[in-house]
Structure 1
Amino acid sequence: MDVLSDVIASMRIGVPRSARVEWPAPWGQRFPSAPGSAGFQVILQGSCWAIPPDGEPIPVGTGDVLFFPHGHGYALADSPATPVAEPDCDPYAEAELFATAAMDGDGPVTVTLCGGYRLDSGRAHPLLRDLPEMLHLPARLGHNTDLRAAVELLGKEFDRPRPGVDLVVSALLDTLLLYILRAWFDVSAEHCAPGGWVAALADPAIGTALDRIHRDPAHPWTVESLGRHAGLSRAAFSRRFSELVGRPPLTYLTWWRMGTAARMLRDSDAALGELATAVGYSSEYAFSHAFKRQYGMAPGKYRRLGCPPASA
């Protein structure tokens, strides 16, 4: 996989959840903190205010997308002056793949599409850790057309469910997550400060090296061979990679291999020898030793215990 797809696949667990809600004014609703998840809100119709835990309320309108990558709580309301109701349920424990609701009231209606993704916080990738508490992607003519298309398709599935809707909605929710991140990285790459994962992916040399690692983690990579693909000398590549990614090339390679192995332990019943080969180890012993050093236990025990949280 490419870097972004690989990162999302490594962290996403379970089934995403979503709901289409009609809010007649006056209304205000708090959405609680949900550690180990990421949430979104799309304004399908009307306008409202996003109220973060800290900072000033933000006006949002039709077509705007809000993304909460760290599961922090927030509120939405028709006006910053409207009292905000506390939630009376756990939105992740009780939510369905897709649901619809209409609140009581007779004022102007705002329609939102909200949802969430469960993430394995034990394998949190620094790419997502770099994201702010809330991303606001305003609707702008000619911008983020792929994201807008995914939103429109989701809206149609909610308005008129047809055979196969569960599969379509699930796939579109995953697509929406990727388009949200793409849109954010595209904007951030133009204005990012030195360092960080946006800069790493935008850098032609380091982006190429990361792509090589993620597409073929089993390859016997060296700093020299990665630098050659990046078009840099060994020393220049190692220095730039460490500055942008936050760890040396081979340290990142080993960390990613172990994360890939942990995901395979979670999602498959492959033998340890197969796992070792898949992540670039010539023997089961060498793989088990590296895995235990990273996770504090042998891979067999890790699998039996149901994959406890990984180290960063």
Structure 2
Amino acid sequence: MDVLADVLAATKLGGVVTAHLTAAAPWGIKMDDMPKATFHAILAGACWLVRPGAEPVQLAAGDFTLLPTGVGHALCSAPEVDLVPAQQTEAGTGRQRIHLRGPGRETTIVCGAYRYDAFPNHPLLRVLPPLVHIPAGQTPAHREMAATVTMLAAELAAERPGAQTVTDRLVDILFVQMLRVWAELRAEDGASWLAGLRDPEISGAMSVMHEHPAHPWTIEEIAGKVGVSRATLARRFTTLVGEPPLSYLTRWRLELAARRLRDTPDSIAAVGKNVGYASEFAFSRAFKRAHGESPAAYRLSHRAPPCS
């Protein structure tokens, strides 16, 4: 079981290119808050990323940034320049192309967004910082990201048939590559399920729980599956992931339940049983504690409208 793939599939994260920006200094664009993660890949030149209450961050060609909560921010040639709201920029037909002309150095950026099911309660929001900055680098993982960005830029420039499908898939690939690089760069910075994927035994424990989430797991049984003692599993899992194994399992069960409530007509009792709860009452109580509302209320507020 690939835990990262399972999380991404269960929460339906998908990406899209929102703008292909070419700007010559001086320039500045202000983006409002949005209920999506936003990203920027710097193809050429350099710029600054400015957020309220934070120090400006200088970006160079090859850098990649992700703002997981879609917080408002600005891209600009220098922190002190005047900003133009993104809604007021010129856009061409089809994919949004923005050209800001000036006498100075030119910068090219691909901007995009990742939509989350159940935003802002996606599991990744619990492990990613407000700004993920992946500087250009020379490790194999960095080079893989750079190759994907190069392919993305080529598709945007060529505008061939099927380009939107190709670019959307490349953006999804870019997200996974970004997570791999970020996990390597920040491996020592704190506990998270993403950090746990780097440890063979802890990753194995997470995998068995993801493969059979409804099974009545005990720590002893999970430890036996991955070949470590109960005490070792409990200690290492809590250190790396930030919570005990069975707490992680409960959160994952309720994430799966949220997906089934959004995507299926199954009864609440059936949804609870599918993720390991023997009674509807126990499931409803646990779900409300995790999501802040009952399963019925969650289904009503999160189900997609039927296609007409």
The two structures have a TM-score, normalised by structure 2, of 0.83
Amino acid paired to 2:241:
V
Structure-2 change in CA distance of 1:297 and 1:198 (3 Å)? closer
Instruction: Indicate conservation of the 8 Å contact 2:26/2:102, yes or no.
Output: yes
* CA distance in 2: counterparts of 1:53 and 1:32, whole angstroms: 11
Amino acid at match of 1:118: R
- The residue identity in structure 2 corresponding to 1:104 is R
Partner of residue 19, structure 2: 19
Provide the rounded CA distance (Å) in 2 between the counterparts of 1:41 and 1:19.
9
What is the letter of the counterpart of residue 26 of structure 1?
A: P
Q: Which amino acid aligns with 1:37?
A: K
Inter-partner Cα distance in structure 1 for 2:55 and 2:272: 50
In the alignment, which residue of structure 2 is the partner of 1:39?
Answer: 38
3-state DSSP class of the match of 1:146? helix
> In 1, distance between residues paired with 2:233 and 2:107?
51
Structure 1 counterpart of 2:111: 114
Q: Using the alignment, how far apart are the partners of 2:209 and 2:94 within structure 1?
A: 34
Q: CA deviation at 1:85?
A: 0.7
Within 5 Å, give how 1:147-226 maps onto structure 2: 147-189=145-187, 192-193=188-189, 195-226=191-222
Tell me the residue number matched to 1:72.
71
Superposed CA RMSD: 3.1
* C-alpha spacing 1:48/1:285, structure 2 compared with 1 (3 Å): closer
TM-score, length-normalised on structure 1?
A: 0.82
Contact 1:25 1:107 (C-alpha < 8 Å) held by counterparts: yes
Instruction: Decide whether the 8 Å contact of 1:10 with 1:123 is kept in 2.
Output: no
CA distance in 2, matches of 1:60, 1:294: 38
Partner Cα distance (1:12, 1:260) in 2: 11
Q: Percent identity?
A: 39
Question: Please, which runs of 5 or more residues in structure 2 have no aligned partner?
Answer: none
8 A Cα contact 2:69 2:120, kept in partner: no
Alignment of 1:139 with 2:136, yes or no, is yes
**In structure 1, how many angstroms separate the alpha carbons of the residues matched to 2:208 and 2:97?**
43
Task: Quickly say closer, same or farther: Cα 1:274–1:149, change in 2 above 3 A.
Answer: farther
- Confirm or deny: 8 A CA contact 1:97 1:166 kept in the other structure: no
What's the CA shift for 1:294?
4.4
1:228 CA displacement: 1.6
- The CA distance in 1 between the partners of 2:242 and 2:137, in whole Å, is 34
Q: 2:126 aligns with which of 124, 129, 134?
A: 129
Q: Are the structure 2 counterparts of residues 47 and 9 from structure 1 closer, same or farther at C-alpha, using a change threshold of 3 Å?
A: same
Whether the aligned pair in 2 keeps the contact of 1:16 and 1:97 (CA below 8 Å) is no
Q: Letter of the 1:110 partner, please give it.
A: T
Q: Distance in 2 between matches of 1:135 and 1:21?
A: 20
* Counterpart contact for 2:183–2:195, Cα < 8 Å: no
Q: How many residues align?
A: 300
Q: 2:227 aligns with which of 228, 231, 240?
A: 231
Distance 1:97 1:274, change over 3 A: farther
SS for the counterpart of 1:202 is coil
Per-residue CA deviation, residues 149-180 of structure 1 (Å, 9 max, x unaligned), is: 22112111110122222222221221111111
Q: Deviations over 1:7-33 (max 9, x none)?
A: 333444676342101101111222233
Over 3 Å counting, the alpha-carbon distance change for 1:76 and 1:15 in structure 2 is closer
Aligned partners of 1:203, 1:97: CA distance in 2, in Å? 44
- Structure 1 274/31 Cα, relative in aligned 2: closer, same or farther at 3 Å? same
- Change in Cα spacing, 1:50 to 1:194, as seen in structure 2 (3 Å) is closer
Partner Cα distance (2:24, 2:69) in 1: 29
Mark the runs of 5 or more structure 1 residues left unpaired by the alignment.
none
| 1:79 maps to amino acid | A
